[in-house]
Chains A and B, each alone.
Chain A
Amino acid sequence: MNNLHIHTGNGQTDSITAFAASGLSGPPVRKRPTHLEALEEEGIYVLREVAAQFERPSLLFSGGKDSIVLVHLAEKAFRPLGNPFPLLHVDTGHNFAETIAFRDALVRRNGSRLIVGSVQQSIEKGRVQEETGPEAGRNALQTTVLLDTLKEHNIDCAIGGGRRDEEKARAKERFFSHRNVFGQWDPKNQRPELWGLFNGRMNPGEHFRVFPLSNWTEMDIWQYIATENIAIPSLYFSHARNVINRRGVWLDDSPFITRYPDEEVVQKTVRFRTIGDATCTGAVLSHASSLDEIIAEVAASRITERGNRHDDKRSEAAMEDRKKLGYF
């Protein structure tokens, strides 16, 4: 009967581990979220912070997949209310017809308010000067139009679909990115962002750009579109199109592009990886006609999606320079 078992050592497992080992039903164990669930959750949290911290926020809508995902997230974040943010489209006037049709259908379906900043009108008003020649583009003009539109509508926060994986200057961008009264970004003097605490304080006349998709990659966007069944413009799927080849980039044979004499129009099966201004958005040769095929193509691709963007190729720091001035 000498089963007295008294010891003063440490040799005990703590009870929680002991429960797990004993096979008895222990405390509830919650599965870690998948990467898409984690990203969606982060995006929703950031959008709710915007709604709470700002008075007149607006969602920058280009008709591209990132801003479509943003609208989808905003719908989900505020259920049963739906997306509370008006959509702001900076319209270069050089659009793909599909983009505008898609935009209008989406606004009709969701009942969102649409604010359009028109580059064409700014040119007519003399706020900006149209570029000329074959390399002309309205990309640079968008910055002035965007800032004018924010000011006109008193918008204190513009939500954008920018992602840090897109471009190296964007890799340094914050979720909550402060802009001074001139709309400028100071990359060397950004506010540190810790935990989930976002500081949206500012003085009158200043504004914020907020990027809920900061941590998403192109692949995440496509996977999310697929799992959530989100409608996107037909331009993203392969189709036959008349194109011209300029320095390796396939550009749409658009009425807005002045061709060089030696450039000839050919018909190719293409799709677009990004959608922007028709004069600077390149297509890729592709037969991917379903989301599955697009995901497979993105996975195998050895070129970034902005590799076909003419606007980024102007100089090594083209994006950084434009962002400092107030670009998207």
Chain B
Amino acid sequence: MNHLDKTDHPPTVQETELLRFTTAGSVDDGKSTLIGRLLFDSKSIFEDQLDAIQKFSGAADQGSVNLALLTDGLRAEREQGITIDVAYRYFATPRRKFIIADTPGHEQYTRNMVTGASTADLAVILIDARKGVLTQSRRHAYISSLLGIPNLVVAINKMDLLDYRESRFRQIVNDFTSFAEHLDPGNITFIPISALQGDNIVNQSDHMPWYDGPTLLSHLEQVDVRDRRNLNNFRFPVQYVIRPDQDFRGYAGRIVSGTVSLGDDVIILPANERARISSILTPDGEVDDAGPGESVVLQLDQERDISRGDMIVKLDDVPESATRFEATVCWMYKQPLQTGKTYDVMHTTRSTRAVVGGISHRFDVDSLEQIPEKKLNLNEIGNVVLETAQPLFIDPYHVNSGTGSFILIDPDTNVTAGAGLIVEGSGAPDAHRHNTPSEKTEHVFWQDWNISREDREIHNGHKAAVVWFTGVSGAGKTTLAKVLEKELWEKGYQTMLLDGDQLRHGLNRNLGFSPADRKENIRRVGEVARLFFEQGNIVLCSFVSPYKDDRKTVRDLFPEDRFLEVHVHCRPETLIRRDPKKLYRKAQLGQLKSLTGYDSEYQAPGDEALSVDTDTTEVEQAISAIAAGLYPIVKKISKKV
């Protein structure tokens, strides 16, 4: 039976990458024709398929084939001449294999495009050159940006009907660009095409010598697909427990993000139990480490009660465990989403009940405005607050799409009713962990201080201020802060120095290094700084504080003219040479993950911060530069008599 023995050498299979893209356009923009053209010109259409559509369209005698018929698969679609549902198409070139999710542009449009976009590396938005940028085009761009598609191609079609005029192309490019400024749509590429005539689809057009960019196909083949995978935060939702006998207990699942290695210390959620990775089994055998997207079976060094829906994460990088969070929801069901109704939520491999606590607002996808609303109708998008029966282990969608996404299921009909994207910093942590409500509850009223800061400042003889040092580990933040504090102290100022290690040993002991925990860490630090500030101190804070948003949150706690941000930085070689806490060494050896500036993101400040380059600046010079900004703020005041 086995005919493999006929080949005494392993057959040669060319290794190619997979690119998934989605196409969107309004009715009659020529999207089906474009796909038909792409398939036809790349020789991915077979003769019997062509025969069939020729027969159907009666096109044989007209000398041209209706390429749109290739993509309309259902009888009703061919009869009505429209595309009803997402269709998947496949073609390959020697460089890449392509999966197209072709999403129809009419009613049901939002639901279909969100579906197609949820797995796409790239989106092609089609615009009819005669009509220009329509409401639909804006929606397409908005959804691509919402779903975090890293690459956008705007194909401006039907150029043949406008005599291939460059001015029209430029005008549409300008219109689209000015709209897209309000979004975060990734890289945008504009290509003038005629799908019907085949201009700039596969072959470079002779009609548009003014265009020297790539054809659509060559762009698809060569575009650098920015990695959507998160390599930093290890998240392993247990999918299935494999237990063939008493001796083997393995946890099967797909690594959503991050990497795992033999010997890693892990935490199992929600039990919060510790264990160590003792084996990593892939479908092709045992390995020492594995990364995002790989389906593996993990074994632990000790017996734990683990089942589907639990999550295995690293000891030093635990996601937020939340029972209440805000999410952007795209509603896909004819019964509107309503406050107070219960749904089933599927998040990673975990399912639980969820109730919609409130609807913050609906997005008008055309104007991008937020509109107060009590319900969300089919194909509408809005922000809602969900409360779940069991905690979910979440990250913001834009940091980690795998742990930032979920679907809502109507429990009465079992239908998938909505798709959700978790909003950054929205999670109210599960009560079992750090018990901090995300917002002030209505029972807490702001009390004026018994003795005002102004009085304390007069008593102290100077004004209060906050100097916030931000930068990666080893840049020199704490060194500068210490020298500055000594100088201030000697000149008679009241000071307090806060630094990351100090707080992490006490107040913030229960926080790790996940984006959510980093955020909470900085939030607490900001509040502590505020107490010292209100006491009239000059508060020097030395924190990596990698995220711009978090620093802004802290800044907003203080009067604008009392907060001084200092960005301390130097060359990577210097960091590694200094390495005061041997963190870079550990990271290079793979013993430490999520080191800011190494394998974890640092968002450098812009104009809001004073910048100190510790490669080129002596300590005294840096201090005098900071002092020059600080002394006018904290100027001495004479005591009232």
The CA of A295 and the CA of B618, in the complex, are separated in Å by 67
Establish whether residues A4 and B419, one from each chain, have CB atoms under 8 Å apart when the complex forms.
no
B604 beta carbon closer than 8 Å to chain A: yes
Establish whether residues A303 and B46, one from each chain, have CB atoms under 8 Å apart when the complex forms.
yes
The CA of A5 and the CA of B612, in the complex, are separated in Å by 7
CB distance from A289 to the nearest CB of B (A): 6
Establish whether residues A292 and B12, one from each chain, have CB atoms under 8 Å apart when the complex forms.
yes
Establish whether residues B13 and A79, one from each chain, have CB atoms under 8 Å apart when the complex forms.
no
A51 beta carbon closer than 8 Å to chain B: yes
The CA of A5 and the CA of B621, in the complex, are separated in Å by 9
The CA of A171 and the CA of B49, in the complex, are separated in Å by 14
B180 beta carbon closer than 8 Å to chain A: no
A219 beta carbon closer than 8 Å to chain B: yes
Segment 392-434 of B: residues with Cβ below 8 Å from A: 401-402, 405-407, 409, 414-416, 419
Interface mask (A1-40 → B, CB under 8 Å = 1, otherwise 0): 0011111111010111011001011111010111110111
Establish whether residues B11 and A194, one from each chain, have CB atoms under 8 Å apart when the complex forms.
no
The CA of A45 and the CA of B282, in the complex, are separated in Å by 12
The CA of A45 and the CA of B9, in the complex, are separated in Å by 30
9-residue interface stretch from A143-151, A196-204, A256-264: A196-204
CB distance from B470 to the nearest CB of A (A): 12
Establish whether residues A194 and B115, one from each chain, have CB atoms under 8 Å apart when the complex forms.
yes
A304's closest neighbor in chain B, by CB?
Answer: B46
CB distance from B291 to the nearest CB of A (A): 4
The CA of A6 and the CA of B615, in the complex, are separated in Å by 11
Residues of the A chain whose Cβ atoms lie less than 8 Å from the Cβ of B90: 164-165, 215, 217
Residues of the A chain whose Cβ atoms lie less than 8 Å from the Cβ of B489: none
Question: Interface residues of B, CB < 8 Å — how many?
Answer: 117
Establish whether residues B119 and A195, one from each chain, have CB atoms under 8 Å apart when the complex forms.
yes
The CA of A41 and the CA of B419, in the complex, are separated in Å by 24
What does DSSP make chain A's interface, helix, strand, loop or mixed? loop
Given the interface pairs A6-B617, A14-B602, A233-B1, the reply to whether A195 lies near B402 with Cβ below 8 Å is yes
Most-contacted residue by chain A among B88, B297, B409 (CB, 10 A): B88
Residues of the B chain whose Cβ atoms lie less than 8 Å from the Cβ of A27: 231, 587, 598-599
* Of A98, A192, A199, the contact of B115 (CB 8 Å cutoff): A192
Establish whether residues A41 and B74, one from each chain, have CB atoms under 8 Å apart when the complex forms.
no
The CA of A44 and the CA of B612, in the complex, are separated in Å by 51
Establish whether residues A203 and B572, one from each chain, have CB atoms under 8 Å apart when the complex forms.
no
CB distance from B296 to the nearest CB of A (A): 10
Segment 180-235 of A: residues with Cβ below 8 Å from B: 187-188, 190-197, 199, 201-203, 214-215, 217, 219-220, 223, 226-227, 229-234
* Of A4, A12, A172, the contact of B604 (CB 8 Å cutoff): A12
Establish whether residues B231 and A201, one from each chain, have CB atoms under 8 Å apart when the complex forms.
no
A31's closest neighbor in chain B, by CB?
Answer: B291
CB distance from B474 to the nearest CB of A (A): 11
CB distance from B259 to the nearest CB of A (A): 7
Given the interface pairs A22-B571, A215-B88, A217-B90, the reply to whether A194 lies near B414 with Cβ below 8 Å is no
Establish whether residues A35 and B74, one from each chain, have CB atoms under 8 Å apart when the complex forms.
no
Residues of the A chain whose Cβ atoms lie less than 8 Å from the Cβ of B85: 172, 187-188, 190
B353 beta carbon closer than 8 Å to chain A: no
* Of B284, B416, B607, B609, the contact of A192 (CB 8 Å cutoff): B416
* Of A15, A36, A202, A203, the contact of B472 (CB 8 Å cutoff): A15
B289's closest neighbor in chain A, by CB?
Answer: A28
Residues of the B chain whose Cβ atoms lie less than 8 Å from the Cβ of A193: 115, 416
A202's closest neighbor in chain B, by CB?
Answer: B414
Given the interface pairs A171-B73, A201-B344, the reply to whether A22 lies near B573 with Cβ below 8 Å is yes
Establish whether residues B332 and A307, one from each chain, have CB atoms under 8 Å apart when the complex forms.
no
Given the interface pairs A15-B598, A195-B402, A201-B409, the reply to whether A169 lies near B283 with Cβ below 8 Å is no
* Of B114, B281, B416, B587, the contact of A199 (CB 8 Å cutoff): B416
Given the interface pairs A35-B17, A80-B248, the reply to whether A5 lies near B613 with Cβ below 8 Å is yes
The CA of A10 and the CA of B283, in the complex, are separated in Å by 47
Establish whether residues A171 and B254, one from each chain, have CB atoms under 8 Å apart when the complex forms.
no
The CA of A24 and the CA of B416, in the complex, are separated in Å by 48
CB distance from B595 to the nearest CB of A (A): 9
Segment 240-275 of A: residues with Cβ below 8 Å from B: none
Residues of the B chain whose Cβ atoms lie less than 8 Å from the Cβ of A48: 239-240, 252-253, 295
Establish whether residues B18 and A188, one from each chain, have CB atoms under 8 Å apart when the complex forms.
no
B118 beta carbon closer than 8 Å to chain A: yes
Establish whether residues B283 and A77, one from each chain, have CB atoms under 8 Å apart when the complex forms.
yes
Establish whether residues A195 and B18, one from each chain, have CB atoms under 8 Å apart when the complex forms.
no
Establish whether residues A30 and B291, one from each chain, have CB atoms under 8 Å apart when the complex forms.
yes
B610 beta carbon closer than 8 Å to chain A: yes
Residues of the B chain whose Cβ atoms lie less than 8 Å from the Cβ of A172: 73-74, 85-88
Most-contacted residue by chain A among B70, B75, B602, B622 (CB, 10 A): B75
Segment 357-394 of B: residues with Cβ below 8 Å from A: none
Given the interface pairs A195-B118, A226-B10, A229-B4, the reply to whether A79 lies near B283 with Cβ below 8 Å is yes
CB distance from B576 to the nearest CB of A (A): 6
A76 beta carbon closer than 8 Å to chain B: yes
Establish whether residues B409 and A199, one from each chain, have CB atoms under 8 Å apart when the complex forms.
yes
CB distance from A146 to the nearest CB of B (A): 22
Segment 411-461 of B: residues with Cβ below 8 Å from A: 414-416, 419
B308 beta carbon closer than 8 Å to chain A: yes
Residues of the A chain whose Cβ atoms lie less than 8 Å from the Cβ of B3: 231-232, 234, 236-237
Closest 9 CB pairs of A and B: A27-B599, A168-B73, A15-B597, A76-B283, A307-B48, A201-B414, A5-B616, A226-B11, A231-B2
Name 7 A/B residue pairs within 8 A (Cβ), A-sorted: A4-B625, A5-B616, A8-B610, A30-B231, A81-B242, A292-B7, A304-B46
13 additional A-B residue pairs with CB within 8 Å, beyond A8-B611, A195-B118: A15-B575, A16-B602, A26-B599, A27-B587, A34-B17, A39-B18, A195-B119, A197-B406, A199-B409, A226-B11, A229-B10, A233-B1, A307-B46
> B-side interface residues toward A, CB under 8 Å?
1-4, 6-7, 10-13, 15-18, 46-49, 52, 55-56, 70-76, 78, 84-90, 92, 96-97, 99, 111-112, 114-115, 118-119, 225, 227, 229, 231, 239-240, 242-244, 248, 250, 252-254, 259, 281, 283-284, 291-295, 297, 308, 332, 344, 346-347, 349, 401-402, 405-407, 409, 414-416, 419, 472, 569, 571-573, 575-576, 587-588, 590, 597-599, 601-604, 606-607, 609-613, 615-618, 621-622, 625
